[in-house]
Amino acid sequence: MSIAVTTQIICFTVLSLVIVIGALGVVLLESIVYSAFLLGGVFMSVAGLYLLLNASFVAAAQVLVYVGAVNVLIIFAIMLVNKKEDLKPINDIKSRRIISTSICLTLLSLLIRVDLTNVWSLSSPQNSIGEESTIRIGEHLFSDYLLPFEVASVLLLMAMIGAIVLARRDVMSKDISTGLPVDQELIEKSSEPLLTKKN
């Protein structure tokens, strides 16, 4: 076995272990902050797997989008609203767990089916394009994948406008959740009075 192949196998093992253990940690850990940071680690390891597959552009895009944008925003949101509070016990926790387990198992079986039915091997290893893939991805995005690409951008625009409308209460005359008229004076003022009158 050559040194390059050995290195690849070691890298693949380490990355897969990090992904599996990290993903389990994201779901099972009690602390939401740890989950968020572990999620970043999982995203990084996925980028590492792309790198092993010679897809360097996809790997860098994965780091930029998932780690640099998505994960940072998740952590940001957690830290802005990080309140220590005792959660109320849920009554029908058992049935909820059964439903979520069955949904996850269905998804897993779907993925296993895709794995088994798809033909993974390339016709020849010479077909891999390596560094040229950046150009090839660009060509595909602006030709046969143009519609999904544009639809995704419209979706993101809608989400952005929605977020702005929700965040800037001065553009709405009524509070969405309570239906009360909104105080237009200070945007950053809390919608509920801090000291509730007792009478």
Spatial CA neighbour of 43 closest among 68, 13, 25: 68
DSSP string, 46-96: HHHHHHHTT-HHHHHHHIIIIIIIIIHHHHHHHHHT----PPPPPTTHHHH
Give the residue carrying structure tokens 């196998």. Answer: 9
Tell me how far, at minimum, the Cβ of 131 lies from other proteins, in Å: 3
Report if residue 48 touches other proteins, rule: CB under 8 A: no
Q: Which of 10, 14, 69, 110 binds other proteins (CB under 8 A)?
A: 69
Tell me how far, at minimum, the Cβ of 132 lies from other proteins, in Å: 8
In DSSP terms, which residues pair with 181 in a beta bridge? Answer: 174
Report if residue 61 touches other proteins, rule: CB under 8 A: yes
Q: Which of 2, 127, 143, 190 binds other proteins (CB under 8 A)?
A: 2
C-alpha 25/C-alpha 47 separation (Å) is 19
Q: Which of 76, 142, 145, 149 binds other proteins (CB under 8 A)?
A: 76
Report if residue 32 touches other proteins, rule: CB under 8 A: no
CA neighbours closer than 13 Å in the CB half-sphere of residue 99: 5
Q: Which of 13, 68, 140, 142 binds other proteins (CB under 8 A)?
A: 68
Q: Contact at 8 Å (CB) between 83 and 41?
A: no
Considering only residues 129 through 168, tell me which ones interact with other proteins, judged by CB under 8 A: 130-132, 134
Residues contributing to the site for other proteins (CB under 8 A): 2-4, 33, 37, 40, 44, 56-57, 60-61, 63-64, 67-69, 71-72, 75-76, 79-80, 82, 130-132, 134
